[in-house]
Amino acid sequence: MQIQPLPIIGAFELQSAIYADNRGNFREWFKESELREIDPLVSFKQSNISVSKKNTIRGIHYSLDGPGQSKLVTCLRGSILDVAVDIRPSSITYGQYVVVELSAEAGNSIYLSGDLGHAFISLEEDSVVSYLLSSEYNAPYEHGISPFDPTINIYWPPGSYVLSKKDEDAPSLLQQYEAGLLPK
């Protein structure tokens, strides 16, 4: 596995080798020993899978439970644009984001430390995304920021978007800052 740091501290792209033959293909998309090179304390407690229609936007999500919720995200079918957002007010890249296209064919994943925001858009019908999470879902600590926040200004490919009510109504980064609901 190759691990490449992204321009936001705590975000990494992981590239797994894909072994193809007449049966299909195989890849190792998670190996704890290799992930510990970038996060010595990594430990996953929950695994989620989402299936998203084309142009579905999920996020920007984050957790304030303990040290936050680190994520290892991979696309098992279809493709997505995965977005890491720096929501740490003390960071030099606060309010900035980085985008990585994840696809089943590419064999890549993204790792995000627990103090980053996460979002994605599905580029195809029924894209399947798997998340390994460092903490279990804990509703009172789960928060969001509008994926259309103009101060972050994420470029989403043009289209008619599908969002949850929660994501549609999510506050801005500034509102979460003023409410004291960003990572310390």
- pLDDT of 42 reads 87
Does residue 184 lie in a domain region?
no
Cβ–Cβ under 8 Å, residues 135 and 46? yes
Count of structural domains, the chain: 1
- pLDDT of 145 reads 98
Each residue of 37-64: pLDDT tens digit? Answer: 999 988 999 999 999 999 999 999 999 9
Does residue 102 lie in a domain region?
yes
- pLDDT of 123 reads 98
The answer to whether residue 61 is catalytic is yes
Mean predicted lDDT score pLDDT of the chain:
96
53: domain CATH number is: 2.60.120.10
| Distance separating alpha carbons of residues 147 and 170, to the nearest angstrom | 8
Regions of the chain short of the pLDDT cut 70: none
Q: Which of 19, 62, 131, 161 is catalytic?
A: 131
User: Could you tell me the pTM of the whole model?
Assistant: 0.96
Does residue 183 lie in a domain region?
no
Domain containing 19 equals: 2-178
Does residue 74 lie in a domain region?
yes
